[in-house]
């Protein structure tokens, strides 16, 4: 099989996994009432999205010899938990757009958005408990640990916005909790359901952890270097909000003179217009921050891919490799 046809086959496999998750999520919500809870929930989970975490559960299960049908409920559970965090993040960040359409709290209101988000978290556990596995207690522990970490990570993200003494080390600590832990948990849970060995479970946990860091770095880059139409969110929002991203913290360490004054103004939440966003982007370019972020993203992705050598050679492992390469290229 040629490389092109192999990639097409892998893409088709990934698309089928995504379709199975979408179908299961739709089925879960059929006929559910009240509408104040479930209309916003359905809107959020049918608004698009890559289903990265859910697909990772299925591929991880398959890569260690399991059947994806046994992992589908867990895959949907982690997708619901992820969407719960997005609804609440959008409220806290006062975001108007998500995936190119109005956020839940903008289309409805904050009260209904919070309620539908809470229901997503409850439904996530309801779905996870349907998983038929002798290792369900371990799976529940990992899932709950990811839930705890993502909440703590969001807390650190909020705290960091008020601090000017942070470095890249602090950033890594925060994104390991806020972003990477749930992706890591997806790999680990899938491996447990598939009956993976201790080494395979660890490999898929680390694959997800490294991939999560790379994923967040890509998000940081797209916020300043992406296309708003394809990215689905306002470009430069991290700068306006003074978010402590890899880019901002590196620029804070490197910039001098007027450039440093601008970066410090971002950290004090004093940047509010597009002209200033462009000036900050120019600083990122001049200081080599964007180039370094891209290199770090690629390096971390390669570390994730190195973990796959510990898994059996099969289509699912090839799909995990393909998926990590695609995340490097994404524009959304």
pLDDT tens-digit map of 143-199? 999 999 999 999 999 999 889 899 999 999 999 999 999 999 999 999 999 999 999
What is the C-alpha separation between 227 and 305, in angstroms, rounded? Answer: 27
Residue 112: inside a domain? yes
Residue 170: inside a domain? yes
Q: What is the mean pLDDT of residues 203-231?
A: 88
- Per-residue exposure over 101-129, b if at least 16 CB sit within 10 Å of its own CB, e if not: eebbbbebeeebbbbbbebbbebbeebbe
Looking at residue 243, the DSSP 8-state letter turns out to be: -
Residue 211: inside a domain? yes
pLDDT of residue 230: 62
- Band the pLDDT of 6: cuts 50, 70, 90: confident
pLDDT of residue 41: 96
Q: Domain of 141?
A: 3-325
Closest CA to 310 of 200, 231, 158, 162: 200
DSSP string over 244-301 = --HHHHHHHHH--HHHHHHHHHHHTT---SHHHHHHHHHHHHHTTHHHHHHHHHHHHH
**Cβ atoms within 10 Å of 162's Cβ, excluding its own:** 11
More confident residue, 273 or 61: 61
Residue 227: inside a domain? yes
- Contacts for 126 with CB less than 8 Å, ≥ 6 apart: none
For residue 2, pLDDT over 80 is answered with: no
Radius of gyration, alpha carbons of the chain: 20
pLDDT of residue 48: 82
Residue 216: inside a domain? yes
pLDDT of residue 5: 77
Number of domains composing the chain: 1
What separation, in Å, do the N-terminal and C-terminal C-alpha atoms of the chain show? 30
Residue 331: inside a domain? no
CB 171 within 8 A of CB 244: yes
**pTM of the predicted structure, to 2 decimals:** 0.93
CB 227 within 8 A of CB 331: yes
CATH number at residue 120: 1.10.600.10
Closest CA to 13 of 331, 324, 322, 329: 322
CB 238 within 8 A of CB 220: yes
Distances (CA, A) of 161 to 24, 79, 177, 237, 291: 38, 27, 16, 13, 24
What is the C-alpha separation between 72 and 110, in angstroms, rounded? Answer: 31
Residue 330: inside a domain? no
Angle at 105 between CA 104 and CA 107, to 5 degrees: 65
- Band the pLDDT of 99: cuts 50, 70, 90: confident
Residue 61: inside a domain? yes
For residue 229, pLDDT over 80 is answered with: no
């Amino acid at each position: 099989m040629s490389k092109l046809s192999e990639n097409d086959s892998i893409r088709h496999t990934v698309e089928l996994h995504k379709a199975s998750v979408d179908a299961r999520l739709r089925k879960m919500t059929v006929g559910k009432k009240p509408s104040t809870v479930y209309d916003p929930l359905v809107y959020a989970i049918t608004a698009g999205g890559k289903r990265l975490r859910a697909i990772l559960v299925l591929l991880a299960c398959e890569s260690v010899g399991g059947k994806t049908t046994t992992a589908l409920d867990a895959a949907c559970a982690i997708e619901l938990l992820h969407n719960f965090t997005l609804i609440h993040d959008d409220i806290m960040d006062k975001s108007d757009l998500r995936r190119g359409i109005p956020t839940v709290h903008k289309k409805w209101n904050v009260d209904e958005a919070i309620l539908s988000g809470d229901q997503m978290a409850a439904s996530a556990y309801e779905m996870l408990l349907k998983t038929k596995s002798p290792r369900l207690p371990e799976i529940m522990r990992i899932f709950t640990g990811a839930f705890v970490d993502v909440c703590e990570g969001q807390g650190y993200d909020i705290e960091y916005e008020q601090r000017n003494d942070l470095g890249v080390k602090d950033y890594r600590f925060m994104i390991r909790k806020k972003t990477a832990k749930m992706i890591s948990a997806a790999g680990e849970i899938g491996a447990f359901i598939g009956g993976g060995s201790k080494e395979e479970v660890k490999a898929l946990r680390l694959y997800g952890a490294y991939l999560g860091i790379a994923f967040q770095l890509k998000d940081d880059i797209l916020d300043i270097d992406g296309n708003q139409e394809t990215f689905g969110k306002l470009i430069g929002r991290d700068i306006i909000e003074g978010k402590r991203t890899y880019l901002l913290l590196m620029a804070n360490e490197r910039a001098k003179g007027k450039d440093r004054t601008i970066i410090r103004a971002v950290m004090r939440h004093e940047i509010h217009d597009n002209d200033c966003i462009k000036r900050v982007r120019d600083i990122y370019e001049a200081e080599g921050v964007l180039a370094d972020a891209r290199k770090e993203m690629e390096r971390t992705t390669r570390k994730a891919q190195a973990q796959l050598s510990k898994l059996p050679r099969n289509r699912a492992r090839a799909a995990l490799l393909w998926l990590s390469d695609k995340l490097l290229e994404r524009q959304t």
